[in-house]
Amino acid sequence: MLKKIQRYQEILTLFAKYGLADWLSQVDLSFLKGWKLTSQKENLIELSTAQRINRAFVELGPTFIKVGQILSTRADIVDEELAGELQALQSDIPPDSPEDVKNLLEEELKGDLTDHFSYFDVNPIGSASIGQVHLARLAKNGAEVVVKIQHKGIAEKIEMDLEILDDIAALLDHYVEEARSYRPIQIAEEFRRLILRELDFTYEARNLKKFAANFENSRVVVIPEVVEEICTSRVLTMGRIKGIPIANREELLAENYDLCQLAKDGTSTFLKMIFEDGFYHGDPHPGNIFIVEGQRIGLIDFGRVGHLGEEIREEIEDLLVGVTQRDTRRVLQILKRISHIPHDINYSDLESKISEFIELYTSLNISELNVQDILGEFSSIIRDYKIVLPSNLSTFIKVLIMLEGTSHSLDPNFNIMEVLQKYQTKAVWRRLSPERQKRIWGNFYRDLEKLLIDAPAGLADVMEYLKKGNFRVQLESGQLEHGVNRLVFGLITSALFIGSTLLMATKSEPQAFGISIPGAIGYIVSLGFGIRLLWAIYVSGNLSRGKR
């Protein structure tokens, strides 16, 4: 508890030092009486807010560096300047001593180093916020490997900081009106989930194996092989990738690599991950990409990945189609379904902004389009209206921007939009595929079957409540008319279905082939009504998608 209190003091003092704690004036901090929370803004007057946040996070250590790096992917929350500063965050944590490294390995691997390695370099080739990386050779076959080892005591420090972040998020949500619309508590929970995943090296090992399976038959991509028997939650051993960092353009040219083709291959690789696999590398900056012999692309660092389920991928595709078709209302409807929108938002104004955005970029030739400009403008609109996107969609936006920047570092004339257009065409064909249609109709049949089974019992319950006079309907303000209309429509549909069933059961005249014609007509009409009702609920986002 004493350590936690001291850490609170350190964090709040640094916030005040860098002029980042104006919100504290709105919080009752009488319990901090005696702490020195004086601001030192006068010494930082030449620094921008983004630079001050960067420095504060670096001083606060590994947890806040990771928080900053994750926050840099949230284009819906931070602007481009701050995102750039946070993305560049690097820790200056010194590596653990050789003795600590040896002790940790022997503790984790339950044996002596020589049982696993014929050679192990105790001096790391790199030290980051969570762990450090060493070169080694396997004892069993002499293969060169890279061993990632967690810093001593880092898990306890991160857990304490995450608890403090939860507390700060609760304070922001309770006291700071302008912060509340960004849902700080939910964002803090997201930080916790992502950071704890990076802290668990078994998660990265699973990611490596999944990427290796996805690119098993690829002649372009190289994924490090996991050495499973030398992996734990704090130790990760994988094959070593030897190559030239993609940022070293001159060295690549000297080795006669085709940079234009590398840009195309790299972009196609990441778009395959996103749109076909739904599982992609979440940090494609140049330091994580190497060019290896044979014009192949080697990827490292799989602690941060992105996931796009079939549903959100289809929403993204619909969003792209809506933009290309200049369908502002469709784009706005999709945003309503997939994001958290403040209740007091001016939809007319937002629709006007989206319409201007669409008109601006759809009037340009594909050669004039720039992904960073397009997504930057879109993100700016999202931030202005305090719309919070799903974290996987925000990560997708950031990855596309980073991907374009990395591709341009290889070939300044490369246009990522041309490659994206090909994937949009593939997406259209995938939407029309028999497999997808079968799945859609299967889901629709299950929903309809459930409705038909539950409707009679539900109608009976409603009638019973009506008889007793204690029937109550609670609807949100502004939703009353739509809710009542749907309720009445559902009751009529249920009554028509039940009546048709009785006509069919009693074989009421007239008949055709032994089937009651009025009953059959009633069945068809009730089916049409049911489909219409399900579609209305589906479009509003309140059926299988849930309220967003």
**Overall size of the chain counted in residues:** 548
Q: What is the pLDDT of residues 265-324, one digit of tens each?
A: 999 999 899 888 999 998 888 888 999 999 999 999 998 898 988 888 888 878 877 887
Confidence category of residue 174, pLDDT binned at 50, 70, 90: confident
Q: What is the pLDDT of residues 318-359, one digit of tens each?
A: 887 788 778 898 889 999 988 988 888 898 999 999 999 988
Look up residue 93 and give its DSSP letter.
P
Please report, rounded to a whole number, the percentage of residues in the chain having pLDDT higher than 90: 32
Q: Give the number of other Cβ atoms within 10 Å of residue 325's Cβ.
A: 12
| CA atoms of 29 and 9, how far apart (whole Å) | 12
Alpha helices in 411-475, H assignment, sequence order? 416-431, 434-468
> Is-contact 78 72, C-beta < 8 A?
yes
Mean pLDDT of 493-512: 69
Residues with Cβ within 8 Å of 335's Cβ and at least 6 positions away in sequence, in order, are 341, 387
* Residue whose tokens read 């078709």: 325
Residues with Cβ within 8 Å of 460's Cβ and at least 6 positions away in sequence, in order, are none
Mean pLDDT of 375-380: 88
Dihedral sign of CA atoms 106, 112, 114, 115 in order: negative
Q: Give the number of other Cβ atoms within 10 Å of residue 272's Cβ.
A: 18
> What pLDDT is recorded for position 39?
46
- Name the least confident of 130-134, 278-282, 497-501, 529-533: 497-501
Confidence category of residue 470, pLDDT binned at 50, 70, 90: low
Determine how β-strand 244-245 pairs with β-strand 279-281: unpaired
> Is-contact 375 347, C-beta < 8 A?
no
Confidence category of residue 545, pLDDT binned at 50, 70, 90: very low
> What pLDDT is recorded for position 251?
94
| CA atoms of 255 and 249, how far apart (whole Å) | 10
The pair of three-digit structure tokens given for residue 88, joined into one six-digit string? 């560049």
pLDDT of 159 higher than 90: yes
Burial 30-42 (b: 16+ CB within 10 A, else e): eebeeeeeebeee
Alpha helices in 137-284, H assignment, sequence order? 154-175, 177-180, 184-199, 201-214, 249-254, 259-271
The pair of three-digit structure tokens given for residue 384, joined into one six-digit string? 């202005």
Q: Which is higher by pLDDT, 166 or 526? A: 166
pLDDT of 32 higher than 50: no
The enclosing H or E element of 79 equals none
Q: What is the pLDDT of residues 236-271, one digit of tens each?
A: 999 999 999 998 999 999 999 999 999 999 999 998
Mean pLDDT of 497-522: 72
> Is-contact 89 68, C-beta < 8 A?
yes
